[in-house]
Structure 1
């Protein structure tokens, strides 16, 4: 193909975002020769995409708020594992509250009119949510490792106070690290006039490599190593379940407790797998490929944000306490409006009975 034919074929491959430059093309800033073109999009597609992304944002905020309220309000749910889930839900809440709306505007509006400082704020929010989520997943993996591999000493090693300290340290490290990273990027960043100029950071090859190693390769290696050991121990325990030596009464109680821990480990393993599936394309594309202003690059950019919507749905499917607490919270506004104390007592009893069971 000739140069013009190749360009036409490239633009026709993305029907939603028509990048072909007509003679009367409009630019974001007419007085700047380096200004990017305005994206041409039909009104129907424009409104549909805004509605779709807004719906994702609202549902993400709503579901993660349910998780946060459920765990923070009822003391029976404030176990070390659930506190880590609460911290992860806070990261997902920030994604739905800040990152998804800002990213939607940035993707659908090719002209970046929010300025350099908001560009830095958006990047900081994305980095913070990604790093804090991965930090919480490391803590969850370690929590499940101790619960499955060393169950007798789990309650001695993993306490609520230690868990809260680890969560605080993780968030502080993420805040400081991401602030330092943004400071390095923004110092060399010119005032942005296009979305890709704001979002894609060039000229820091070794910094990008270091960031990917610190915030993705090393944490993922730790998580996968812990879950590999968990899998090996869980398989060994599963064999013991069917052995004749596990037929005693005391052995049955131990097996039931171990089965409960393995179920929680399986659920959180799905959460970890979900994170890796949604974030891997983003990190790989940012490292291996150059910037492309096309539909595929926008899809890879927005894909990790959907991860924050999936996590509460996983809790709803696998955690009975989340179903019970959610049902009571939602009916709180619809029924017994003037019986708040009665509802509180009843919910405490139901959640307590669920854990005693």
Structure 2
């Protein structure tokens, strides 16, 4: 945080003075409105994902088990973390006490880390589905999926609640904080270790997995194009060749676009925060408070965008969302059977089966 603007640093055991609200009424109203929209989108979007997977049997696959658990983590970020962070950001003060500050920081670290872990598991799952389809059912059995989901929740809990509630994350930091300020300070060891576990290791997994997926998608697109050429049997050779080339380019472009968006959004919204998180203890906590707030909320926005990236881009999820929002979900039972009273066009719009993130 901006330790100089808070009067934080000095010689030896420095005490942080009580905070004061610096923003005027107009800017506070604007920030509350803007951030509230982000919170609502986070909660509603992720709740729709959970509801869709829980209701429709067609959406219940190994991949969507990770997507559902991811949506739960992101929804909890919107419900338990973002509202209090919004008040702290807008008001500049903490009104909820010292103990709840530690609890809020623990939940913040745990849920955001769990969200990132789930993203890496989805990348790992998609790697086996695309690059090793014959081994997919063996590698992604129900027991292994359940184990990975447990890991996605257990490891973030260990690196958050344990160190933070026991004050291990501030060991050696000679700064005393008053109760009306909730500043998440960390020592150098915790900053480096937690950032490596929470972000840089999952990022490496995602980069490797999606790079291999992209290469496999290009290879498969060329193989499909070659098969289409053989089926043409020499009829319309020139036009067939042009069409084959267009199809190949279309498939490769779609794969590159999808994977590029997924990785680009993840890196854009989380890389700044974790970079500053590591650097800040080594520059005597001199990062400006506004920079911290911007980078932190960029990370929160990633939880708002995950339903779009892992749900709205998929045709089956889009149909499920539209059915819920159009109150047509009652046309189908949980097993996907149509109710006789429903109209034909409602029956045609039910979610279909298939792997996610492959469309």
| TM-score, normalised by the number of residues in structure 1 | 0.76
RMSD: 3.7
Match of 1:41 among 2, 8, 23: 23
- State whether structure 2 residue 302 is matched by structure 1 residue 307: yes
Counterpart of 1:138 in structure 2 is 120
Among 63, 66, 81, the alignment partner of 1:99 is: 81
Residue equivalent to 2:157: 175
Q: Does 1:124 align with 2:106?
A: yes
> Matches of residues 1-357 of structure 1 in structure 2 within 5 Å?
34-182=16-164, 183=166, 184-185=168-169, 190=176, 192-195=178-181, 198-202=182-186, 204-243=187-226, 247=230, 267=258, 270-289=261-280, 290-315=285-310, 317-332=312-327, 345-346=337-338, 354-355=352-353
Deviation at 1:313, TM superposition (A): 2.3
Q: CA deviation at 1:120?
A: 0.9
Equivalent position of 2:243 in the other structure = none
| Preserved contact between residue 95 and residue 308 of structure 1 (Cα < 8 Å) | yes
Moved more, 275-284 or 231-240: 231-240
The CA distance in 1 between the partners of 2:54 and 2:310, in whole Å, is 16
| Count of aligned positions | 316
Q: Is the contact between residue 109 and residue 160 of structure 2 (CA under 8 Å) also seen in structure 1?
A: yes
Q: For residues 125 and 333 of structure 2, what CA distance do their matches in structure 1 show? A: 34
Query: 1:343 and 1:301 mapped to 2: Cα distance?
Result: 41
Contact 2:117–2:152 (Cα < 8 Å) also in 1:
yes
Structure 1 ranges of 4+ moved more than 4 A: 186-191, 262-269, 339-344, 347-353
Structure 2 alignment gaps of length 5 or more? 8-14, 233-246, 340-345
Which has more helix, going by share of residues?
Answer: 1
Q: Please give the TM-score of this superposition, normalised by the length of structure 2.
A: 0.76
Q: CA deviation at 1:236?
A: 2.2
Q: 1:108 to 1:38 in 2, by over 3 A?
A: same
Deviation at 1:164, TM superposition (A): 2.3
What SS does the corresponding residue of 2:73 show, helix, strand or coil?
helix
Cα displacement (A) at 1:131: 1.5
What CA deviation, in whole Å up to 9, does each residue of 1:304-344 have, x standing for no partner?
10111112123454211112111221233xx798x886997
Q: Distance in 1 between matches of 2:126 and 2:132?
A: 10
Residue 300 of structure 1 and its aligned partner are, at CA, apart by 1.4
The structure whose RCO (Cα within 8 Å, separation 6+) is larger is: 2
Question: Does structure 1 conserve the Cα–Cα contact (< 8 Å) formed by 2:56 and 2:336?
Answer: no
CA drift at 1:295: 2.7
Q: Residues 176-219 of structure 1, C-alpha deviation per residue, up to 9 Å, x if partnerless?
A: 23222313237778554454xx33314x2122112122222222
Q: Which residue of 1 aligns with 2:342?
A: none
The CA distance in 1 between the partners of 2:142 and 2:76, in whole Å, is: 24
For the Cα contact (< 8 Å) 2:214–2:259, is it kept in 1? no
